[in-house]
Amino acid sequence: MAFNINDVLSDFPILSQRVNDERLAYLDNAATAQRPRQVLAALQDFYIHDNANVHRGVHTLAERATEDYEGARVKVQHFINARSSAEVIFTKGCTDALNLVAASYGEANIQAGDEIVISIMEHHSNLIPWQQLARRKHATLKYIGLTAQGQLDMAAARRQITDRTKIVAVTHASNVLGTVNPLKELAVLAHQHKAVIVGDGAQAVGHMPVDVQDLDVDFYAFSGHKMMGPMGIGVLYGKAALLRAMPPYQYGGEMIGDVHRDDSTWADIPFKFEAGTQNVAGAVGLGAAVDYLQGLGMDNIQARERELVTAVLPRLTALPYVTVYGPQDPRQHTGVLAFNLAHLHPHDVATALDMEGVAIRAGHHCAQPLMEKLGVTATARASFAFYNTREDTDQLIRAIKETKEFFNRGTI
């Protein structure tokens, strides 16, 4: 571990609070991460010094705000290694970004009889937009299934992706199983069949190095709030040529070329896709998050999360009443762990763990088709970030054991 955990912890004051009179172990990072004080300071600094609307202003604050905003775009560009900052579109979040692609690219390029291929482990945000697009267009939505080990079935992918396939949309990392999908291989497959590939990076960016040119994805979407940035900001990366050819998604200020009474023309990318006043402060905060993550080093962050999973996963699987979904090998895992306790509903588990200060999530994790596939209606999910500690893993295991005991006895 190349960074000092105590330094890191001092950047996240929210983590040092107590909940329900217990030490907080925040293990709900896949839902939303916490933000370091550097990101909060960037937000405040922007609002206290430079706040103005961007691009159209001639005055000093507007110019500063524009520099801040476009500077953040360049930071994101370098972080994911996009060719050009024009390929980085700021959105409200990952869901907004995926809807943009489905509505703009999908609406323009999908026809009756075409196929859209996604995986069974998709989050609803990378599933319903394609499902509804397919329904509107009388296209077919096809699913890539899982192997017995809870990984994407690449043999099935090779069968499912055909010359009728126009779009392949797959998550880079599962928000339930903790698996990392071979996006690069899928991109090759998709391109062999002249389809475009959309990567859902919500659970990948901020947890592992991501290089969109190396992955050769055509689109890639992610959220600021899951990578230590503010809420209300996200990114759609797209290859310039594709973005240029796409119609706008939303209409309004800042995205126009010329507006006449009966028709309008559009600005160049990225502005064509940024209608209305953008979340400038959010972009600035995201830029600060990128700086923070790069300061720690993405390799270090990934190693740290793997170390935590390596510590906790075997202890979890060793409990006879615990079922862990997804790969059992820590090396094939992000910090996301889904599990259930026998004869106990995950909601009851989550309430009990909360009493012990352990914040986990319970439910379908916006992945109902995956739940169906796994034969459950819901699971518990603990998800780790680089600022979690061995103490957090201990607290989780202890709380699970006590929960089991509590419900075994019926009452304490």
Partner 1 sequence: MGLSKLNGLYREVILDHASHPHNKGKLPTATNTMTLHNPTCGDTINLQVNVADHRIKDIAFTGEGCTISQASASMMTAAVKGKTTTAALAMAKTFSDMAIGQQHSRSDLDQLGDAQVLTSIMEFPARIKCATLAWWALQRALLKDSDEEDDNE
Q: Which of residues 30-89 bind its own copies (CB under 8 A)?
A: 31-32, 34-35, 40, 43-44, 47-49, 51-53, 56-62
Is 153 among the residues that bind partner 1 (CB under 8 A)?
Answer: no
Q: Is the peptide bond before 314 cis (omega within 30 degrees of 0)?
A: no
343's CB contacts (< 8 A; 6+ apart) are 321, 407
Contact of 137 with 111, CB cutoff 8 Å: yes
Question: What is the DSSP code string of 158-204?
Answer: HHH--TTEEEEEEESB-TTT--B--HHHHHHHHHHTT-EEEEE-TTT
Q: Which of residues 56-75 bind partner 1 (CB under 8 A)?
A: 56-59, 62-63, 66-67
Number of residues binding to ligand PLP, judged by CB under 6 A: 19
Stretch that binds partner 1, among 95-103, 218-226, 288-296, 404-412 (CB under 8 A): 404-412
Query: Among partner 1, its own copies, ligand PLP, none, what does residue 203 contact (CB within 5–8 Å per kind)?
Result: ligand PLP
**Residues 395, 358: Cα–Cα separation, whole Å:** 7
Is 345 among the residues that bind partner 1 (CB under 8 A)?
Answer: yes
94 assigned to active site: no
Is 52 among the residues that bind partner 1 (CB under 8 A)?
Answer: no
Contact of 193 with 163, CB cutoff 8 Å: yes
**Residues 265, 223: Cα–Cα separation, whole Å:** 29
Q: Which is nearer to partner 1, 185 or 354 (CB)?
A: 354
> Burial code of 345-368, b = ≥16 C-beta within 10 A, e = fewer?
ebeebbebbbebbbbbbbbbbbbe
**Residues 359, 351: Cα–Cα separation, whole Å:** 9
CB 219 to partner 1: min, Å: 25
Q: Which of residues 347-366 bind ligand PLP (CB under 6 A)?
A: 366
Query: Contact with ligand PLP (CB under 6 A): which of 28, 50, 87, 200?
Result: 200
Q: How many residues does the chain have?
A: 412
Is 95 among the residues that bind ligand PLP (CB under 6 A)?
Answer: yes
Active site (catalytic) residues = 366
**Which positions touch ligand PLP (CB under 6 A)?**
30, 93-95, 123, 125-126, 171, 175, 200, 202-203, 223, 225, 252-253, 276-277, 366
